[in-house]
Amino acid sequence: MDLIGTYTIALENYLNWFWSDQILVSTNSLFGNYFWGLALVSITFFTVEIVLPWRKKQPVFRKYFWQDAFYMYFNFFLFYIVLFAGLSAVAESVSLWIFKTVGVEDLVLFHIEDLSTWSQLLIVFIITDFTHWNIHRMLHKYPVLWRFHRVHHSIKEMGFAGHLRFHWMESVIYKSITYFPLLVIGFETEYLFYMYMISISWGHFNHANFMIPMGILKYVFNSPQMHIWHHVKELPQDREMGVNFGLTLSVWDYIFKTNYEPHSGRDIELGFEGDEYYSKSFIKQIFSGFGKD
């Protein structure tokens, strides 16, 4: 097994795809364009924050806004160029080799590719969102993972760009664990672009500085007024490991009793205990978490 060759080819393919298909839009179609899709969604939410701010005294360019904006493109593109594209290909190659060695040739247990587009999307979405909810709980529960997740909770003023302010190790954790549930169902992988746009849009919404009354939908979908309590600095004594772990769906929190929204959290203090000592440097943040800092 040529792992170095696998890494190199994957990196070259990613670079060609990123420059040609994503930046230059050589396909003449924005479908499947993650780069400009992220830009379009971000500009939309930034505009709404300016026009309809929930926290009216919060500056448009809030604290760490530009750092968060850089995190968006670092985590989704630069990190892949530097390391993750090749590493993912190697990990997938090794995983498939292990399965083949133990006699598992076909990993797909449930074939859903013959279902309608919307049925496939719904199934993949529910599986992915529930998996991510569980991963998110793990990031809070286990100290070794919390040291990476602190980057996200160093947000002091909420805004859409804070959605993608996270340590690069979270990409490794989320994608590694999510890989296996999706591996056993056969579906049209082009639909992952729809999933990307949904998750990016709703994640931006959860962190945005505007508020939309949710009504009964609050029991199904996450929202800024619910998610801000996930970022509260002073957690209730019986919820020391966190609350409101839902990404797109809030229903998991209501089912498993991790929901918490005592009142409007518009002006609550955000962060975590001891965050005043946490580094504000991007470089120090992306290398944090590996020791006992």
- Residue 87's pLDDT band (boundaries 50, 70, 90)? low
Residue 226 is predicted with a pLDDT of: 96
Q: Is the pLDDT confidence value at 192 over 90?
A: no
- The 3-state DSSP class for residue 125 equals helix
Using a pLDDT cut of 70, give the percent of the chain over it. 89
Residue 215 CB-density burial (10 A; 0-12 exposed, 13-18 middle, 19+ buried) = exposed
The larger pLDDT score, comparing residue 275 to residue 115, is at 275
Task: For 218-264, write each residue's pLDDT tens digit.
Answer: 999 999 999 999 999 999 888 889 999 999 999 999 999 999 999 88
Residue 293 is predicted with a pLDDT of: 62
pTM of the predicted structure, to 2 decimals: 0.90
Q: Is the pLDDT confidence value at 167 over 80?
A: yes
Under 8 Å between Cβ of 186 and 112: yes
Q: Is the pLDDT confidence value at 48 over 80?
A: yes
Phi and psi angles of residue 129, each rounded to the nearest 5 degrees, phi first: -65, -40
The larger pLDDT score, comparing residue 130 to residue 18, is at 130
**What is the pLDDT averaged over residues 138-142?**
96
The larger pLDDT score, comparing residue 187 to residue 288, is at 288
- Residue 109's pLDDT band (boundaries 50, 70, 90)? low
Task: For 1-31, write each residue's pLDDT tens digit.
Answer: 677 888 788 888 888 888 998 999 888 777 8
Q: Is the pLDDT confidence value at 94 over 70?
A: no
Mean pLDDT of the chain: 88
- Residue 190's pLDDT band (boundaries 50, 70, 90)? confident
Tokens of 13: 């393919």
Number of C-beta neighbours around residue 76 at 10 A: 16
Q: So where are the chain's domains?
A: 3-286
Q: Is the pLDDT confidence value at 78 over 90?
A: no
Q: Is the pLDDT confidence value at 150 over 90?
A: yes
Question: Which are the contacts of 171, defined by CB distance < 8 A and separation ≥ 6?
Answer: 75, 79, 84
**What is the pLDDT averaged over residues 155-178?**
93
**What is the pLDDT averaged over residues 163-175?**
92
Q: Which of 77-81, 123-127, 268-272 has the lowest mean pLDDT?
A: 77-81
The angle, 0 to 180 degrees and rounded to 10, between the axes of the packed helices 85-101 and 3-16 is 140
Residue 240 CB-density burial (10 A; 0-12 exposed, 13-18 middle, 19+ buried) = exposed
Question: What letter represents residue 75's amino acid?
Answer: N
